[in-house]
Structure formats: C-alpha cells, structure tokens
Structure 1
Amino acid sequence: MEKTQEVAVEQMRAAIEKLGSSAEGEADGKLMMFLVARSMDTEKAAEMYLQWKRWRAEIAPRGFVPDDEVVDELNARKSFLQGVNKAGHATVVILGRNHFASKDFLQFKKFVAYMMDKGLASCDGIVEEGKERVACVLDLQQLSMANLDVRGGIEGFQILQEYYPGRLTKFFIINVPFIFAAAWKIISRFLDKATAEKVQIVKTERQRKEMLKEMGEELLPAEYGGSAKLVPLQNVKLKNRPPTN
C-alpha cells in the first residue's frame, strides 16, 4: 500500500472513532475499498463503513449467515461456487432459470450476503487479506417470465455496491433472451458507474472467449466452453467462517 493510502486509512480510522465506533481489527485493504468507493473522502468512507456495520448487524448478527437461514434460496440450486481462478478471484455461476422472486425478501438479502461471503472466504490463503474478489457469470438460458425479478435484481446490485465495494471484478451475463431487455433496462438504472463498467452482456463468440479466459476455463462448465462441473454453493466446505465483507 502506498504511503498516501496508508495515511488515508489512518485518517478514516480516526473519523470512525469520532463517529463513536471503531475499525479495530479490520484489514487496511478492506478499509481502502470504502475509501475508493467514496473517492478517498475519509469522512464519507467512515460513514459508509458504519452503514455497513449496521447492515451486517441486521443481516448476519452472528458474524456470518448460516445455511439454515437461507434454506429456500439454497434449495433452488441456482448459485454455484467454482473455485478461485488464476487471478485470485472466486468464480460464481448463477442460473437465472432457477431463480424466483422470494416471498421472504430478508432471506433473499441474506442469501446475497451468504453467496458473497462464501466466495470471498474461498480466496482465504490465496490472496492478501482485504484483496479477495468475486467474479460472476449469470446464465439466462431457458429464462421464463416467472424468473424475472426486477426488485431482486436491483436489491442484489445495491448490496454489492453499498456493502461489498470493490469486491466484484466482473459480471458476465450470457444467453440473454429478449424478455430480459425490459427488466435490465430498469435494473441497470440503479447501477453506479463503477458497477456498470464491470457488467458485460456476452453476445459474440469473441466475448465468450474473453469471458472464458477471464473466469478460468478450468472452472467453468463444458456448456460455456470450460471443463468443470457445476458445484452447488452449499456443497462447498470452507475451513474458516466467511469474512464479513
């Protein structure tokens, strides 16, 4: 970390203390994500960090989201954790055809946190603490009107933007049907510039090859051009509890 960044982190820690809280034990790299998300404004970054702490207290009061709190979402078998690619990013695949708008919206929000936490935790020991990242592929093959969930899409991206700043590296959307266009037009309005730049709708063979290279051929299933089998999120066992961001 550069000297200017170290100074900014220390100033942010001081700003957090002035607001009556503490960032003791938090990795500098993690705090840097809040700083970057707030254009290195230490006071705004401190406020964002405290907002995140309040959110975590609601979503994961035990420090993590246990499986039994997201049973319905896990049973849908819509999310898969394929391992960590050569860049040190956790590779997640989401099957849109297995998603339906949740009747329990709190459980859905907990599930987004569960998925991100588990993806980040899978990077443990591979990359430096605070530098864990997640890359996603959203597959819309066989998507039906019943699978369209504008509210869920907006909430999912807002969780990434507000509570996992800088953690998403790439979000590929593949096999896009025409029925998705109207929903995406609404959802995309809620993406900040940084997130929008990471989303790529794959339309050409060249773009598909780029996705395969970025995500890792050895981690994606054969139908995407890779050589792996899909691994349900709940089947991935980790030695340590997921990090809280």
Structure 2
Amino acid sequence: MEEEEEEIFHSPEAERDEKADDEKRKLRLMRATLEAKDLSCKDTDDLTLRRFLRARDLDVEKASTMFMKYLAWRRTFVPKGYISESEITNDIAQNKMFMQGRDKAGRPIAVVFGSRHFASKGGVDEFRRFLVFALDRLCSRIPDGQEKFTIIGDIQGYGYCNSDVRGVLAAISILQEYYPERLGKVYVIHVPYIFMTLWKIVSPFIDKNTRKKIVFVENKRLRATLLEDIDESQLPEVYGGKLQLIPIQSG
C-alpha cells in the first residue's frame, strides 16, 4: 500500500498539478512585487505576467525585473500605445511582411520575405518601430486560449544587399526581451547558402529555448512540412494553400 501511495503521489498528473500550483503561487508573489514598485501594474492581466514569469523559468525576481524593463521601454518607445504607419513609411513600402491564416493550434501566421528588406532605406530605428508595429498586429490576432504566433521566413532571393546584422539583432532583442513566450515556431524556407553567413553571426544571440522553435525546411519537403502544422485552407497560395497573402499593415 505504501508503494502504491508513493507511486500515485509521483504520478505525472500529480507533478503537473504541483507545478501549476507553484506557478500560481509565484505569479501572486510577482504581482505583489510589481504593484509595490508601480501601481499601474494592477492593470496588467495575469496571462501577460505569466509569460514573463515563464520566460525566466519561474524566477520571480528575474521576471519582475524583466517586466519593469518592459514597462519602461514601452512608455518610452511606444508613448502613444501604438506605432502609426506614418512612422514606418520606408519599411511598409518594402512590402516584406504579410499576415494571413492560423496554424492547427490556432496561432496566427505571418510571412516575411527576407529579400525585400533593405536596411539603408529607413535605418535600424525605423526597423525597430516596424517590428513593434508588426508584432502588435500579430498579437492582436491571437485568439483566447492561445498566446503564440507562427512565422514563415522566406529567404528566397536573399543577397548581400539584404544582409542586415544590426536589424536582425534588433529583432532578436525585441522579441526575446519585450514579447516573451509569444513565438510558437519559425519556419525558415528557401534558404540560400549566403544566408548561413548571417546566421552564424546572429545565432549565438538567440536563447536556447527560442532556437528550438526555429526549423530550417528542405525545399523538397516544404509543402509537406508546413502541412504538418498548417491546414491547406490556412496556408498561403504561394506555398500550395488556399489563402492570399495580406500585407501586415492591411490586416
């Protein structure tokens, strides 16, 4: 009987419940910590705080520091609460990011064309604003019960003129520091050899949990790989699906 009781106590269900209870306890502690520092944190919902908590492996102190940094950044970088199209005219004109469909988990899908990005047009500051504009648009389409989005990064035609180390590092920083636990998966497709030079430079700056979500897809397996997670009805026409691509600014 003692052995049976011990086995039940250590069952997967019991461990999951224990972890869930621990997370709830730490979430309450994190909220109390933040509200003591800034009363405006009372307006932040539990789901948002939980994403920051999970991003720091349930370390309340680190998660609280991360969230306070996010608040300060948001107030400075997005003082109006949103980025307007007039602030990112050069990046929008490049027509490089689209938003359409959902994967099988309900995550909204964005498609990014790397060969349409030219760093010199607007500079890294405008590109940062464009990233926030795009990420906010994506997040606004995340349905209840889901917290992440999916990205298809199409690198076909990518060349030296598209190589932008500063821009990619800015994207990594913004995504990891200010949009934690939002990325579900990234499919990198049509990858030319030249892109791998940039990848070797920037990949060390991507944390291990994010790297696990990045999938380099073989050309011969492209449609089959995408269809594993995306229904044909939700896949863009350009990849053999049935949806037209809609520019991020028109979504």
Q: Distance between the aligned counterparts of 2:47 and 2:153, measured in 1?
A: 28
**Paired position in structure 2 for 1:112:** 131
Q: Distance between the aligned counterparts of 1:127 and 1:212, measured in 2?
A: 23
What does 1:14-93 correspond to in 2, within 5 Å?
14-20=32-38, 22-93=40-111
Paired AA for residue 90 in structure 1: P
Larger Rg: 2
Q: Distance between the aligned counterparts of 1:227 and 1:167, measured in 2?
A: 26
Q: Distance between the aligned counterparts of 1:29 and 1:56, measured in 2?
A: 18
* Shift, 1:48, TM fit: 0.2
More helix by share: 2
Check if 1:127 corresponds to 2:141.
Answer: no
Paired AA for residue 225 in structure 1: G
Paired AA for residue 227 in structure 2: L
8 Å CA contact 2:102–2:109 kept in 1: the answer is: yes
Q: Distance between the aligned counterparts of 2:81 and 2:230, measured in 1?
A: 29
**Paired position in structure 2 for 1:234:** 249
TM superposition score normalised by structure 1: 0.88
* Shift, 1:153, TM fit: 1.0
Paired AA for residue 121 in structure 1: S
**Paired position in structure 2 for 1:241:** none
| Aligned pair partner of 2:193 in 168, 172, 178 | 178
What does 1:203-214 correspond to in 2, within 5 Å?
203=218, 205-206=220-221, 208-214=223-229
Q: Distance between the aligned counterparts of 2:214 and 2:127, measured in 1?
A: 21
Check if 1:150 corresponds to 2:165.
Answer: yes
Residues 150 and 208 (structure 1 numbering): CA distance in 2 closer, same or farther, change over 3 Å? farther
Gaps of 5+ in 1: 237-245
Greater relative contact order (Cα 8 A, min sep 6): structure 1 or 2?
1
**Paired position in structure 2 for 1:240:** none
Paired AA for residue 61 in structure 1: P
Q: Distance between the aligned counterparts of 1:20 and 1:233, measured in 2?
A: 34
Q: Distance between the aligned counterparts of 2:83 and 2:240, measured in 1?
A: 33
The C-alpha deviation readout for 1:168-187, integer Å capped at 9, x for no partner, is: 00011100001111111011
8 Å CA contact 1:89–1:133 kept in 2: the answer is: yes
* Shift, 1:154, TM fit: 1.4
* Shift, 1:215, TM fit: 3.5
Check if 1:98 corresponds to 2:116.
Answer: yes
State the number of aligned residues.
Answer: 232
Paired AA for residue 130 in structure 2: F
Q: Distance between the aligned counterparts of 1:216 and 1:162, measured in 2?
A: 31
The C-alpha deviation readout for 1:73-107, integer Å capped at 9, x for no partner, is: 11110000113333121100001111011443221
* Shift, 1:147, TM fit: 0.8
Gaps of 5+ in 2: 1-16
TM superposition score normalised by structure 2: 0.86
8 Å CA contact 1:35–1:42 kept in 2: the answer is: yes
8 Å CA contact 1:116–1:134 kept in 2: the answer is: no
Check if 1:7 corresponds to 2:25.
Answer: yes
